[in-house]
Amino acid sequence: MVDEQVTNTSINKAKDQDKSMIKPPADPEESLEDRGEDKPDIRRAPDPEQSLEENRQKPSMDKASDSSVSMTESPVFENSLLWEITGNGLKESSYLYGTIHLIDAESFFWPENTISSYENTEKIVFEIDLDEMNNIGNLFGMMSKVMMNDGMTLKKLLSDDDYALVNNHFKDMGLPMFMLEKMKPMFLTVFAETDVDMSGGMGNLENSGSKSYEMEFYELAQADEKEVYGLETMNDQISLFDSIPYADQATMLVETIKASGEDLPEGEMSEMEKITEMYLQQDINSMVGSIEEEGSEFAGYEDLFLHNRNKNWIPRMAEYMNESRTFFAVGAGHLAGRLGVIQLLEDEGYTLTPLSQKK
């Protein structure tokens, strides 16, 4: 969720005054609650002693009634990553694009009409403001928030076998465990989903044979001196981790590594390979389904990671679109489903038209 990018100081200065018209100050300490928006659905206080299975059995984990929608009841959308947004009083079109945070460089592609749609807008909006991400002061200020409290460590949370699995996985990525031991497991899960060699930092993506759609768009925006904004703050995203008990986070981390393909039978696709194939087919319905299905590493937390965030984004998207033509680039898993961004925008009276359908 949290991607490191490159700073462009000269562009940031030029943007400061314009940004104040539409978004709150880029304050990493400000949360959704501070801004008067819905706080993520924290269904119980984090309890590091509880296991993932024990927590899922608790009645308090039941999903809210408005999000208890099975995939069979969900609308089925065109296989398209790019959507035009019109109607509901908009004078000009805006666009919605579904990204995948990391993809093999050989598989990277621009769906039809993507670049021309991007060029037809005045600003680009990511899940999080990447200019904010590149502020060194902000990053240092957030470091303490990715660490576990009360002396908790991964070694205390995991069995010996699982700890060895995690240790070897990150060692192969160029990340020694002494750097990661006290980090919240959910933060590590973001990196565990990839095979990227992180020893050279995020700037090493090309050398690792991977690309980031957010990074590609961000570099385009920098070159074009296009305004960059976010639907959430860094603090919003990191606060999601605090809504999940450490034991659950640790289990998710192990499940993610096991599903990465290292120990899979020959010929069986890893979860990342399956997601990549869905992405290449622009199958946004299957992408959200893979997150919501029983057995997913996020099962039981769909409201926290998807539905509540999607709903909180809609009024902010409206503000951006009413101000000027906007290109939104968010994870493709947020697009489809009954509580996906496409349907929620349509519920508000907007018309969404697919522009990059897979033929």
Q: Does residue 169 or residue 140 have the better pLDDT?
A: 169
CA distance 268 to 259: 10
Please answer whether residues 345 and 314 qualify as being in contact, where contact means their C-beta atoms are separated by less than 8 angstroms.
Answer: yes
For the segment 66-88, the average pLDDT, to the nearest whole number, is: 78
The secondary structure of residue 63, as a DSSP letter, is P
Encode pLDDT of 149-177 as tens digits. Answer: 889 999 999 999 999 999 998 888 888 88
The secondary structure of residue 340, as a DSSP letter, is S
Kindly report the pTM of this predicted structure.
0.73
Q: What is the pLDDT of residue 229?
A: 96
For the segment 213-234, the average pLDDT, to the nearest whole number, is: 94
Collapsing DSSP to helix, strand or coil, 348 comes out as: coil
CA distance 280 to 82: 13
CA distances, 247 to each of 178, 294, 303 (Å): 19, 19, 19
Encode pLDDT of 8-33 as tens digits. Answer: 433 343 344 444 444 443 443 444 44
The distance from CA 1 to its chain's CA centroid, rounded to whole angstroms, is: 4
Say which residue the tokens 């039981």 belong to.
300
CA distance 234 to 27: 9
In this prediction, residue 47 has a pLDDT band, given cuts at 50, 70 and 90, of very low
pLDDT for 351 beyond 60? yes
